[in-house]
Amino acid sequence: MNSVLITGATSGIGKALVSIYTAKGFEVTATGRDLLKLSELKKHHPSIKVLSFDVSQQKQVLDAAEEVSMLDQLILNAGNCEYMETVNPFDSDLFERVIRTNLLSVGYCLEAFMPKLNPHSQIGIVSSSVTYIPFTQSQAYGASKAGLNYLAQSLSIDLASQNIGVSLIQPGFVETPLTDKNTFDMPAKVTAEYAAKAIFKGMQAKALSIKFPTLFINMLRLMSWLPFGLWRKIAISKVKK
């Protein structure tokens, strides 16, 4: 039986991934930091194994890995989004928190879980389509996800000789508790189930890049071709005074 470990499995995209991987017959290890949410998840999917740890705490991640058997897929999905209310003064606590949760955590998980990967396995790293263009108030979130882009693509070069694939996953807006907090328009928002389906399909195909929804991604790609000076003027004109 194929096996997968999913971080951030207690909510949103991760939770939807647990449903799809379970339905497809995978042996699923679902991880999160909230015991109550994990036991609820286990109630819905009795066959899964649940593991509790905070992805931003290296020791907790390393300890958890001792309880994990060999894996065919590893999906590093846990993350959080915090927008910066102001940039001057700059909130370096927020910046550190977001970088720790979204970027350093992936380093801890790679250290802990890569030794558990079977040959020909696949790692999925959940970044974001936010990295196509710089958006207002996204300094911390965008920087953390841009870091993941580089990490994932660079890893995929060095892991090729070990037959381990890396999929860089860049969702557009997905309806989850993370985006429920947003007060701005979120064009082309898809459901968590849609996102999980796209990620599952891409992971099975060992795709280097998993991006969705296509129309929205193409629109961002087009905008990213604008000279930065022009995009900056447009973005400044939209910033609420």
Ligand X SMILES: NC(=O)c1ccc[n+]([C@@H]2O[C@H](COP(=O)([O-])OP(=O)(O)OC[C@H]3O[C@@H](n4cnc5c(N)ncnc54)[C@H](OP(=O)(O)O)[C@@H]3O)[C@@H](O)[C@H]2O)c1
Q: Which residue has the tokens 């990620």?
A: 199
Interface size with ligand X, residues (CB under 6 A) = 28
Name the residue nearer to ligand X (CB basis): 44 or 120: 44
Q: Burial of 43 by CB count in 10 Å (0-12 exposed, 13-18 middle, 19+ buried)?
A: exposed
Tell me: does residue 133 bind ligand X (CB under 6 A): no
For residue 224, the minimal CB distance to ligand X (Å) is 16
Name the residue nearer to ligand X (CB basis): 55 or 112: 55
- d(CA 148, CA 162) in angstroms, rounded, equals 21
Tell me: does residue 138 bind ligand X (CB under 6 A): no
For residue 52, the minimal CB distance to ligand X (Å) is 9
Q: Which residues, at least 6 apart from 41, have a Cβ–Cβ distance to it below 8 Å?
A: 9, 10, 15, 18, 30, 32, 48, 50
Q: List binders of ligand X among 206-225 (CB under 6 A).
A: none
Tell me: does residue 174 bind ligand X (CB under 6 A): yes
Beta bridge partners of 117: 71
Name the residue nearer to ligand X (CB basis): 49 or 118: 49
Tell me: does residue 178 bind ligand X (CB under 6 A): yes
Name the residue nearer to ligand X (CB basis): 9 or 164: 9
Q: List binders of ligand X among 32-91 (CB under 6 A).
A: 32-34, 37, 54-56, 77-81
The tokens of 115 are what?
């030794």
- 13, 68, 112, 203: which one contacts ligand X (CB under 6 A)? 13
Name the residue nearer to ligand X (CB basis): 56 or 122: 56
183 φ, ψ (degrees, to nearest 5)? -105, -5
Contact present, 17 and 40 (Cβ < 8 Å): no
Tell me: does residue 202 bind ligand X (CB under 6 A): no
From the list 12-20, 160-168, 199-207, 228-236, the region that binds ligand X by CB under 6 A is 12-20
For residue 17, the minimal CB distance to ligand X (Å) is 9
- d(CA 168, CA 153) in angstroms, rounded, equals 7
The beta-carbon contacts of 187-195 under 8 Å, at least 24 apart in sequence, are 187/216, 188/213, 188/215, 188/216, 191/16, 192/12, 192/13, 192/15, 192/16, 193/16, 193/19, 193/20, 195/13, 195/16, 195/171
Name the residue nearer to ligand X (CB basis): 78 or 117: 78
The tokens of 19 are what?
């449903």
Note the residues at the interface with ligand X (CB under 6 A). 8, 10-14, 32-34, 37, 54-56, 77-81, 101, 126, 128, 171, 173-174, 176-179
